[in-house]
A and B are shown apart, each in its own frame.
Chain A
Amino acid sequence: MEFPKHLKYSREHEWVKVEGNVAQVGITDYAQSELGDVVYVELPEVGTDVEANNTFGVVESVKAVSDLFAPVTGSIAEVNPQLEEEPELVNSDPYEDGWMIKIEMNDPSELNDLLDVDEYKTFVEEESK
């Protein structure tokens, strides 16, 4: 299981990569492995406003539908166009080609509410007990 050090993590198993005022978001390796084969991803349109801890889309495995939660507030600057045709990228490469959205942040101080890699590892260990 991979837990890249340079990322921030949410308690909903999203990862966040910060570049200036933009937060790139995807789901973690742990999340994709719990879901199983991802067959469908539904993402918002560019320009949509999203609010921290509210849903911004869904990811579906063969068996289950799971909501995706925005880790920060802002507006959608970009969505990964590849996931429409190749949702399996979420399984094969969750931290790179399987990214989902980029959010132009309203309030970067919200990042302080997220977990760092060690906190997230502990969180996953607790949850998978």
Chain B
Amino acid sequence: MAEPGDALRRTSLYETHVAAGAKMVPFAGFEMPVQYTGVIEEHHAVRQAAGLFDVSHMGEFEARGPGAAAFLRRLVTNDVSRLEVGRVMYCTMCREDGGIIDDLTVYRLADERYMAVVNASNIGKDWAWMAARKGAGVEFRDVSSETGLLALQGPRAEAVLAGLLPGGGDLGAIPYYGAQERTWQGKRVLVSRTGYTGEDGFELYCGAPDAPALWEALMARGGGEGLKPCGLGARDTLRTEMKFALYGNDIDEATNPLEAGLGWVVKFQAGEFIGREALLGIKERGLSRKLVGFEMVDRGIPRHGAPILAGGRNAGVVTSGTMSPTLGKAIGIGYVPLTHAAEGCEIAVEIRDKARAARVVETPFYRREKA
């Protein structure tokens, strides 16, 4: 975690962002673009055409060797021992008591070579936790600062990327949550069909020094497809419409994956992992609260930290909320008691000392039309 007073770090794309007129803000210890032309315009570009994000601040750790699979299996809740080469798995990493240390994706890049991609705000904490639990036969490296990461997202993402890669890049061969290496200008780029927006798209891992040229090339190719550079503001509204958890907002060490709606990445039947006993206990005793999505009925935008009332009593807390650009409604995510977690339940959010009516709704709030 970055401490106040620490110098802000910059990604290799800093100069590119500033030259493009981005508004830079501190985020997770980095100086990052929050927007270029406007959050709403960038949001719509991703839903309707394509958007390009610099997410090089994310952390990447590589685990290699005969012990790598067992090492990672013990650390995360999902069954990475079943991960095939060229595939990606979303996971949580928990403490012994089931509290979430981080949410991450794990890539199997080769037989005995894995990559864990973690939140920028958690790089130091995760590294300390994981490195201390490294067993024999594992070479474990933090490659965060040498890795550049661009997210190309939206219905036109594939067309943009195909226009850049030799022979179209054979992108049809990369399934959802799959990742394969491609060559661009003699450089290796890991093309991963993943993202944080709810649209089709790719995350492109490259060497940090190569990221600005890749960015410029994508922007030059993508103009005709409606590609726009996008900042963290749009990344947040897009992920909120999908109810994708944001670490530090919706999940943290005081929450567990079961109540956060991430039970689908907790695989109890697949051997030992840290937090398994505690999470089994929580499952057997039953949850006390659940992370749900809701829409405002009264006027007002729910914000992180606002109290949620159920039956007039203080019952939970808003973890994320925004005015949804796609739906044109104020939406939120928060923890509520199980008694008020079903779709249609009426709750209230306290905004500026006033209880305002809201209703629990089905999530994700937004669903793209499948091609």
A32 to B35, CA, bound (A): 14
In contact, B300 and A42 (Cβ under 8 angstroms)? yes
Q: 10 tightest CB-CB pairs across the interface, nearest first?
A: A39-B323, A62-B39, A37-B40, A37-B38, A40-B301, A37-B39, A60-B301, A63-B233, A62-B233, A36-B39
What separation, in Å, do the CA atoms of A113 and B233 have in the docked complex?
Answer: 36
For residue A42, which residues in chain B have a CB less than 8 angstroms away from its CB? Answer: 299-300, 352
Contacts A40-B323, A63-B34 supplied; 13 other A-B pairs, CB < 8 Å: A36-B23, A36-B35, A37-B38, A40-B300, A40-B301, A58-B352, A60-B323, A61-B39, A62-B233, A62-B236, A62-B323, A63-B233, A63-B236
B229 to chain A, nearest CB (A): 15
**Whole-angstrom distance between the Cβ of A89 and the nearest chain B Cβ:** 14
Report chain B residues within 8 Å CB of A84: 299
**What are 10 A-B interface contacts by the 8 Å CB criterion?**
A36-B23, A36-B38, A39-B301, A40-B299, A58-B352, A60-B323, A62-B40, A63-B34, A63-B39, A63-B233
Give the residues in chain A near B233, CB-CB below 8 Å.
Answer: 36, 62-63
Is B121 among interface residues, defined by CB-CB distance under 8 A?
Answer: no
A84 to B330, CA, bound (A): 13
Is B237 part of the binding interface, using a Cβ–Cβ cutoff of 8 Å?
yes
Name the A residues within 8 Å of B330 (CB-CB): 40
Chain A minimum-CB-distance residue to B39:
A62
Considering only residues 44-72 of chain A, those with a C-beta below 8 Å from chain B are 58, 60-63, 65
Complex alpha-carbon distance, A40 and B323, angstroms: 8
Binding site for A on B (CB under 8 A): 23, 34-35, 38-41, 233, 236-237, 299-301, 303, 322-323, 325, 330, 352
Q: State A61–B322 Cα separation when bound (angstroms).
A: 9
> For residue A39, which residue of chain B has the nearest CB?
B323
Query: From DSSP, what is the main secondary structure of chain A's interface residues?
Result: strand
A37 to B236, CA, bound (A): 14
Q: What separation, in Å, do the CA atoms of A63 and B330 have in the docked complex?
A: 13
**Which residues in B have their C-beta under 8 angstroms from that of A58?**
352
Taking the closest CB of chain A, its distance from the CB of B28, in whole angstroms, is 15
In the complex, which residues of chain A have a beta carbon less than 8 angstroms from the beta carbon of B299?
40, 42, 84
Q: Report the separation of the CA atoms of residues A63 and B38 in the bound assembly, to the nearest whole angstrom.
A: 11
Do B322 and A62 touch across chains, with their CB atoms under 8 A apart? yes
CA distance A29 to B367 in the complex (A): 36
Contacts of A62 in B (CB 8 A): 39-40, 233, 236-237, 322-323, 325
Q: How far is the CA of A84 from the CA of B300 in the complex (A)?
A: 11
Cα–Cα distance between A63 and B303 once the two chains are bound (Å): 9
Residue of B nearest to A65 (CB): B303
Give every chain B residue within 8 A of A63 (Cβ-Cβ).
34, 39, 233, 236
Nearest CB in chain B: distance from A111 CB, A: 29
Q: How far is the CA of A84 from the CA of B51 in the complex (A)?
A: 30
Chain B, Cβ-Cβ closest to A63: B233
Question: How far apart are the CA atoms of A61 and B301 in the complex, in Å?
Answer: 10
Cα A55 to Cα B239 with chains together (Å): 32
Residues of A within 8 A of B40 (CB): 37, 39, 62
Cα-based distance from A110 to B299 in the complex (angstroms): 33
- Give bound CA distance, A39 to B41, whole Å: 13
Give A65 to B302 CA distance when docked, in angstroms: 11
Q: Which residues of A contact B352 (CB under 8 A)?
A: 42, 58
**Nearest chain B CB to A35 CB, angstrom units:** 11
Chain B's closest residue to A62 (CB) is B39
Cα–Cα, bound, A37→B38 (Å): 6
